[in-house]
Structure 1
Amino acid sequence: MNNGSDSSATRPASRSRKPGLLLGRPFGVPVYVTSSWWIVAVLITLVYGGIVQSRLALGPSAYLLAFVFAVLLYASVLVHELAHSVVARWYGLPVRRIVLYVLGGVSEIDREAPTPGREFWIAFSGPLLSLVLAGLAFTAALFTDPFGIPGELLFQLWIANLLVGVFNLLPGLPLDGGRLLRAGVWKLTGRPYTGSVVAAWGGRVLALVVVALPFLFAWGAGSTPGPWAVVWGLVLAGFMWMGASEALNNARVRSRVPGLRARELARPAVLVPADLPLAQVDQRLHEAGADAVVVTDTQGTPLSVMHPAAAEAISGPRRAWVPVSDVSRALTRHSSVSAALEGEELLAALTGHPLPEYLVVSEDGGVFGVLRASDVNAAMAGRERA
Structure 2
Amino acid sequence: MADQNQGTRGISFGRVLGARVVVQPSTLIMLVLLAFLLSSSEDGITRRGFTIGLILAAALIVSVFLHEVAHAIAARAFKRDVHEIVLTLWGGHTSFDSRNLTPLVNGVVSLAGPAANVVIAGVVAAALQATTPGGLLGAALWWVVWANLLLAAFNALPGIPMDGGRVLEAIVWGATKNRNRGTIVAAWAGRVVAIGVVVFAIGVPFLRGSTPSIFSMLWAVLIFGLLWPAASNALKVATTMTRVESIGARSLMVTAVPIPFAATVHEAAQLAARAGALEVVVLAADRAPAGHFPVSLIDAVPESERAHTHLQSVTMPMPRGAEMSPDLHGREFVNFLQQWWGKTEVWAVVEHGHVIGVVRAQDVQGALQ
TM-score (normalizing by structure 2): 0.65
Question: Which digits, 9 at most, give the CA deviation of each residue in 1:131-166, with x for residues without a partner?
Answer: 0111001111222323232x2332232223212211
Question: Which digits, 9 at most, give the CA deviation of each residue in 1:65-111, with x for residues without a partner?
Answer: 21111111111111111211222233244433222112111122342
Identity %: 32
| Letter paired with 2:210 | S
The yes-or-no answer on 1:131 pairing with 2:118 is yes
User: How far apart, in 2, do the equivalents of 1:256 and 1:94 lie?
Assistant: 30
Shift of 1:254: 4.3
User: How far apart, in 1, do the equivalents of 2:173 and 2:7 lie?
Assistant: 32
Q: Match for residue 263 of structure 2?
A: none
Off by >6 Å, runs of 4+ in structure 1: 259-262, 340-348
| Letter paired with 2:217 | V
Q: SS where residue 106 of structure 1 aligns? A: strand
| Letter paired with 2:33 | L
Q: Match for residue 337 of structure 1?
A: none
Q: Match for residue 40 of structure 1?
A: 30
Q: How does 1:54-133 map to 2 (within 5 A)?
A: 60-111=47-98, 114-133=101-120
User: How far apart, in 2, do the equivalents of 1:131 and 1:215 lie?
Assistant: 28
Q: SS where residue 24 of structure 1 aligns? A: strand
Deviating more after overlay: 201-210 vs 36-45? 36-45
| Letter paired with 2:184 | V
Counterpart contact for 2:169–2:186, Cα < 8 Å: yes
Counterpart contact for 2:3–2:83, Cα < 8 Å: no
Q: SS where residue 30 of structure 1 aligns? A: strand
| Letter paired with 2:145 | W
Bigger Rg over Cα: 2
Q: How does 1:320-359 map to 2 (within 5 A)?
A: none
| Letter paired with 1:78 | F
Counterpart contact for 2:68–2:93, Cα < 8 Å: yes
Q: Match for residue 370 of structure 1?
A: none
Q: SS where residue 164 of structure 1 aligns? A: helix
Question: CA distance change for structure 1 residues 101 and 292 in 2, over 3 Å: closer, same or farther?
Answer: farther
Q: Of 155, 158, 182, which aligns to 2:145?
A: 158
Q: Match for residue 355 of structure 2?
A: none
Q: Match for residue 179 of structure 2?
A: 192
Q: How does 1:235-274 map to 2 (within 5 A)?
A: 235-255=222-242
Say what the alpha-carbon RMSD is for the aligned residues.
Answer: 4.3
Shift of 1:173: 0.5
| Letter paired with 1:83 | A
Question: CA distance change for structure 1 residues 260 and 92 in 2, over 3 Å: closer, same or farther?
Answer: farther
| Letter paired with 1:44 | L
Question: CA distance change for structure 1 residues 91 and 259 in 2, over 3 Å: closer, same or farther?
Answer: farther
Q: Match for residue 141 of structure 1?
A: 128
Q: Match for residue 229 of structure 1?
A: 216
Question: Which digits, 9 at most, give the CA deviation of each residue in 1:14-67, with x for residues without a partner?
Answer: x6463322222111111222222233222221121146x99xxx9622321211
User: How far apart, in 1, do the equivalents of 2:14 and 2:328 lie?
Assistant: 36
Q: Which runs of 5+ in 2 are unaligned?
A: 250-311, 322-326, 343-360
Counterpart contact for 2:29–2:89, Cα < 8 Å: yes
The yes-or-no answer on 1:183 pairing with 2:170 is yes
Counterpart contact for 1:72–1:160, Cα < 8 Å: no
Shift of 1:210: 1.0
| Letter paired with 2:60 | L
The yes-or-no answer on 1:19 pairing with 2:47 is no
Question: CA distance change for structure 1 residues 246 and 187 in 2, over 3 Å: closer, same or farther?
Answer: same
Question: CA distance change for structure 1 residues 170 and 112 in 2, over 3 Å: closer, same or farther?
Answer: farther
Deviating more after overlay: 133-142 vs 30-39? 30-39
Q: SS where residue 60 of structure 2 aligns? A: helix
| Letter paired with 2:368 | G
User: How far apart, in 2, do the equivalents of 1:217 and 1:118 lie?
Assistant: 38
Q: SS where residue 19 of structure 1 aligns? A: coil
User: How far apart, in 2, do the equivalents of 1:345 and 1:72 lie?
Assistant: 47
Question: CA distance change for structure 1 residues 161 and 345 in 2, over 3 Å: closer, same or farther?
Answer: farther
Q: Match for residue 317 of structure 2?
A: 289
Q: SS where residue 148 of structure 1 aligns? A: helix
Q: Match for residue 271 of structure 2?
A: none
User: How far apart, in 2, do the equivalents of 1:160 and 1:38 lie?
Assistant: 19
Question: CA distance change for structure 1 residues 49 and 197 in 2, over 3 Å: closer, same or farther?
Answer: same
Question: CA distance change for structure 1 residues 217 and 171 in 2, over 3 Å: closer, same or farther?
Answer: same
